[in-house]
Amino acid sequence: MTVITIEQAGKYDGQEVTIRGWLYNMRESGKLLFPIFRDGTGVIQGVCALKENPKAFAELKGLTQESSVIVTGKIRAEQRAPGGYELGVSKVEVVQRVQESTPFPIQLKEHGVDFLLDHRHLWMRTPRQTAILAAREFMDSQGYTLTDAPMFTPAACEGTSTLFEVNYIDDKKAYLTQSGQLYIEATAMALGKVYTFGPTFRAEKSKTRRHLTEFWMLEPEAAYVELDEAMELAEGLVSAIVQSALKNRSRELETLKRDTSKLQNVKPPFPRISYEDAIKVLQKHGNPAKFGDDIGGDEETIISNEFDRPVMVHRYPASIKAFYMQPDAERPDLALAFDMLAPEGYGEIIGGSQRIHDYDLLVKRLREHNLPEDAFQWYLDLRRYGSVPHSGFGMGLERTVAWICGAEHIREVIPFPRMLYRVYP
């Protein structure tokens, strides 16, 4: 028997196939059963009649939600069925029956958020799926080599206030990484164009719909690349991801009821405005922001509402940015940094910059930021041995997916969210 995934059903119209999955839901109407099966690639409605398939009917009747099943039947086009095809069920093999005494805890009705989060390991089975990202494909196509960064680090990358300290061996202190950047600056000096894509950690005390304490970041880094080129790469990456989601995941976006017209425009060129102009935009809207202020979530929304696609804000005051950022040659009080703000109030999805490549200036900045020079000797080596201008950025995976899916809260788009008050399950 041909085993297929539900996603492939369209290619097997009129043929008998086998699907291995779970019973998502079932409607019973006398001598007819209408089970809905899911297998992780999609859902398909089945039809089973007592008269034609008494054995299959008996297996299915009363079967509990989320029981695992292998079903065989003929695929046929059906306009009214979700996905456009249905399965005429002829054989059912129950792999594991969920006991009536312990029914699947997540019913197909509204549950409170805390209840759902406590059952996150089961909640993820409902078909709100995230868009599958084309991010790796894009980076590979641009000639970037994937190099991994460590999770244990000896020092901070993005400020000391959000470090998770861990007890390393023999009472030595280590920290969970906030960003792989410093390490891929090293691999960029070895391989030219690199990226890392992995978990990062921030002891964020913020309880917002944009903050996690553990999230994934995709970070490219390239030698001989300056700020403008890094911004072009960021624009290309985000466009590629959005266009791929529109092309390959339209059904999922429909399930999520995403207004995709808002995503169609996400193509280069993205608007670019300087931090100083962004402050003017805020002031025009009556916001009290002034030069030197950080741009918070509400301010990001005001700025991004001016545009129909993501906007890149560049050249922030050096005083509010990270220690490693290269100053603008014409305006040393500004850092060659940029943030990409997503539309529709989703805020910053990318932060990046050109890096300081001058040894003396980097030492000066480490001291100004009270960072332990010992722990940064290896990083200073990159400025001792063939230092070159280089740039990169970090794209927050969950923030990007939340925006593309139109999710209310970032916790919906990561299988096991880690937040201020949540480390279970």
Write out the residues near Mg ion by the rule CB under 5 A: 351
Nearer to Mg ion, 327 or 351 (CB): 351
Among Mg ion, ligand 4AD, none, what binds residue 66 when CB lies within 5 to 8 Å by partner kind? none
Nearer to Mg ion, 294 or 373 (CB): 294
Sequence-distant (6+) residues with CB within 8 A of 328 are 315, 334, 335, 336
Distance CA 339, CA 317 (A): 13
Among Mg ion, ligand 4AD, none, what binds residue 217 when CB lies within 5 to 8 Å by partner kind? ligand 4AD
Nearer to ligand 4AD, 43 or 139 (CB): 139
CB of 93 to Mg ion, least distance (A): 52
CB of 360 to ligand 4AD, least distance (A): 22
Angle formed at CA 229 by CA 223 and CA 231, multiple of 5 degrees:
120
What residue has token string 């197909």? 108
CB of 73 to ligand 4AD, least distance (A): 44
Among Mg ion, ligand 4AD, none, what binds residue 215 when CB lies within 5 to 8 Å by partner kind? ligand 4AD
CB of 166 to ligand 4AD, least distance (A): 18
CB of 393 to ligand 4AD, least distance (A): 5
Among Mg ion, ligand 4AD, none, what binds residue 412 when CB lies within 5 to 8 Å by partner kind? none
> 3-class DSSP state for residue 374?
helix
Among Mg ion, ligand 4AD, none, what binds residue 347 when CB lies within 5 to 8 Å by partner kind? none
CB of 335 to Mg ion, least distance (A): 12
Angle formed at CA 162 by CA 157 and CA 168, multiple of 5 degrees:
75
Q: What is the DSSP string of 280-326?
A: HHHHHTT----TT----HHHHHHHHTT-SS-EEEEEEEGGGS-TTBP
Nearer to Mg ion, 153 or 200 (CB): 200
Among ligand 4AD, Mg ion, none, what binds residue 343 when CB lies within 5 to 8 Å by partner kind? none
Nearer to ligand 4AD, 68 or 301 (CB): 301
Residues at the site binding ligand 4AD, with contacts judged by CB under 6 A:
157-158, 179, 181, 202, 204, 211-212, 215, 217, 219, 348-353, 392-394, 396, 398-399
CB of 335 to ligand 4AD, least distance (A): 12
Nearer to ligand 4AD, 244 or 353 (CB): 353
Sequence-distant (6+) residues with CB within 8 A of 311 are 270, 271, 272, 273, 303, 304, 340, 341
Among Mg ion, ligand 4AD, none, what binds residue 157 when CB lies within 5 to 8 Å by partner kind? ligand 4AD
Contact predicate 157/351, CB 8 Å: no
- Residue number with the shortest CB distance to Mg ion? 351
Buried b (16+ CB within 10 A) or exposed e, 15-49: eebebbbbbbebeeeeeebbbbbbbeebbbbbbbe
Nearer to Mg ion, 72 or 196 (CB): 196
Cβ-based neighbour number of residue 394 at 10 Å: 25
Nearer to ligand 4AD, 35 or 352 (CB): 352
Among ligand 4AD, Mg ion, none, what binds residue 390 when CB lies within 5 to 8 Å by partner kind? none
Among ligand 4AD, Mg ion, none, what binds residue 179 when CB lies within 5 to 8 Å by partner kind? ligand 4AD
Residue 71 in tokens: 């079903």
Nearer to Mg ion, 180 or 351 (CB): 351
Q: What is the DSSP string of 253-274?
A: HHHTT--THHHHT--SPPPEEE
CB of 246 to ligand 4AD, least distance (A): 21
CB of 161 to ligand 4AD, least distance (A): 12
Distance CA 91, CA 57 (A): 9
Contact predicate 61/28, CB 8 Å: yes
Distance CA 28, CA 23 (A): 13
Distance CA 173, CA 364 (A): 25
Among ligand 4AD, Mg ion, none, what binds residue 22 when CB lies within 5 to 8 Å by partner kind? none
CB of 366 to ligand 4AD, least distance (A): 15
For residue 279, what are the CA distances in angstroms to 145, 295, 327, 338?
37, 9, 19, 14
For residue 383, what are the CA distances in angstroms to 44, 322, 372?
58, 17, 17
Cβ-based neighbour number of residue 269 at 10 Å: 11
